[in-house]
Amino acid sequence: MTMNETIIDISPVISEKLAVFPGDVEFKRTMTMNFDQGHHLGLSSIQGTVHLGAHTDAPNHYHPKGSGIEDRDLSLYYGECQIITVDIPRGERILPKDIEGIQIQAKRILFKTGSFPDPNSWNEDFNSLSPELVEYLSKKGVVLVGLDTPSVDPSTEKDLTSHLKIYELDMAILEGVVLSHVDDGVYKLIALPLNIKDCDASPVRAVLIKD
């Protein structure tokens, strides 16, 4: 970090209020030791889906032959990242035509849709990515795609067509970030997953660095 750099947090707060996919395991923190109960330190444990808040999916989340999160190249989640705002109806997938005329300037692209405005309140009609868009971005040299919603596919999609296109092209995913306070442009992304063996995802503290 230099004196001219600013850290912009794009991660929602993880708490018991945080919304998760219906049927998934909600976040819970349990205190084992507590100063209020006379203990000499605070000690707690947590439980919940590994797809909490800002998180990276591993290939074994969407493909039976996919690798776990510990095998992913960390360079995928670190480096230049472009924020692109799209304005399309709620529930629709983002298509290549929706970013027509926008120059792709980084290897990591995050879409600002505004379609999942409150991380603590679930709504199904969020925007997602289309397989065509994923392929278009891959041809532009993009290695990571993501957006400010819980998934790159629609919430009711069982075929996971965008996830599978990402698997086919060996790209990385970053979901659940908060971009309402971020302007379009190029930043440095840091969103490193935890080193959890065979895990299908990892929560991250995703941040953007601005010069």
Which residues are marked as active site?
61
3-state secondary structure of 169: coil
Sequence letter at residue 192: L
Look up residue 77 and give its two tokens. 């989640």
Whole-Å CA distances, 26 to 31, 98, 123: 17, 34, 16
Q: What is the DSSP string of 28-78?
A: EEEEEE-GGGT-SS-EEEEE--S--SSEEE-GGGT-TTPPPGGGS-GGGGE
What the block records as the tokens of 109 is 């692209």
Give, for 136, the enclosing helix (H) or strand (E).
helix 131-139
